[in-house]
Amino acid sequence: MSIDALLYWVGLAAVAVNALTGVLDAGRKQMDLIGALLVAVATALGGGTVRDLLLDRNVFWVVDQTYLMAALATGLVTFFVARSLAVPPRLFLIPDAIGLALFTIVGTQIALQWHTPWLVASLMGMITGVIGGVIRDILCNDVPMVFLKGELYASAAWAGTLAMIGMQAAGMPSVTASWLAMALVLILRLAAIRYHLTLPAFSPQRDANS
């Protein structure tokens, strides 16, 4: 698999999985069909849109309609399936973690291909991974998960993207480094949810559980 094919297919999978989390979240807020689809589209396409604007690339879903169709189709199916099933809220965290891992790595690779400096590329990856969920949470009137004190989220993404940049600098092929880094982000995030891993907080007393 070439790096371009990986970026295309993993990007499409990330769009679909983020659209799914958008609809699940909208469902908890009792939005109607169009409201849920709008949240799905914004969650699925938001991170990559911000990345493309910052890099001054063509916005990925404006030039290739496939992404928009994938987001709408996933959103529609999820809407009607989830209406007839009771989805436990915690389950929602798993597709959200997958979306975070996929988007972070795709975003970093695209920034590197665009020849940004490495620190900028790592931030761009984290932005791509995180912003879709931030938009979803703002639209659904939640506090964005990424800013909640507690489990690793943006830090898991940042660790993964920095690890990938390091592995590639050490000579590893970019496709291999991408898969390893996606696994790392996913494992870190899921472990953080399971074992409540946290970073040091601002005030000393919160350090107890870090």
Contact 41, 136 (CB under 8 A): no
Short-list 122, 129, 130, CA closest to 148 = 130
> Of 95 and 144, which CB lies nearer to its own copies in the complex structure?
144
Q: How far is the CB of 65 from its own copies (least distance, A)?
A: 4
> Of 26 and 105, which CB lies nearer to its own copies in the complex structure?
26
Q: How far is the CB of 87 from its own copies (least distance, A)?
A: 11
> Of 26 and 98, which CB lies nearer to its own copies in the complex structure?
26
> Of 2 and 30, which CB lies nearer to its own copies in the complex structure?
30
CA diameter of the chain: 50
Q: How far is the CB of 77 from its own copies (least distance, A)?
A: 14
Residues found near its own copies in the complex (CB under 8 A): 26-27, 30-36, 38-39, 41, 49, 53-56, 58-59, 61-62, 65, 68-69, 79, 82-83, 116-117, 119-120, 123-124, 139, 141, 143-144, 146-147, 149-150, 154-155, 158, 198-204, 206
> Of 48 and 99, which CB lies nearer to its own copies in the complex structure?
48
Short-list 56, 60, 59, CA closest to 12 = 60
Backbone angles phi, psi at 170, to 5 degrees: -80, 5
For residue 73, the tally of other CB atoms under 10 A from its CB is 13
Q: How far is the CB of 201 from its own copies (least distance, A)?
A: 5
Joined together, the tokens standing for residue 198 give: 């946290």
SS3 for 132?
helix
Q: How far is the CB of 59 from its own copies (least distance, A)?
A: 5
Joined together, the tokens standing for residue 94 give: 């798993």
The amino acid sitting at 163 is: A
Short-list 65, 39, 38, 62, CA closest to 52 = 62
